[in-house]
Amino acid sequence: MTEQTGLSAAGSAQTGLRHIGIIMDGNGRWAKQRGQDRSQGHLEGLKAAKRVVKAASDLGISYLTLYTFSTENWKRASEEVGFVMGLVKKHIRAELDFYRENRIRVRHVGDREKLPPSILEELDGACNDTRDFTGLQVIIALNTEAGTKLSGL
């Protein structure tokens, strides 16, 4: 078991585990409990997500869905929403080389209609650049409704 992720090397081989879904929730509460701004919690959540992506890739997991932002999150303060959207945009751009080096395919599920054009541009670019990769598929669930089904992936 890795200290940072809690995933074991036996996970995919022994259990047949193919798809892991992670709801990235509680970052604001995490920060508040430590006397930090909510934005620091979102930054830490992003760092944790990268560790999980790397571990899932190393373990041979086929699919990892990161539920990053639900349609309900639009009700939060506009400053927080803007910060989270900015993080998503920066992360996709900054981590594209990581995805390429590890042959990780990036995909998106969610309502595209309400997402800012700059976010869609980054998502589409990453999805197109990695579409032929056969390793782990990271599905970024961005602007999804609770209960979104991922059948057919």
List, by residue number, the catalytic residues: 25, 73
Alpha-carbon distances of 110 from 58, 61, 119, 141, 142, rounded to whole Å: 27, 22, 12, 6, 5
Please tell me the distance from the alpha carbon of residue 63 to that of residue 137, in angstroms, as a whole number: 5
Which residue spans within the chain are E strands per DSSP?
19-23, 63-70, 105-109, 137-144
**C-alpha dihedral, 23 to 113 to 87 to 126, nearest 10°:** 90
Please tell me the distance from the alpha carbon of residue 153 to that of residue 148, in angstroms, as a whole number: 13
- Look at residue 52 and give its three-state secondary structure: helix
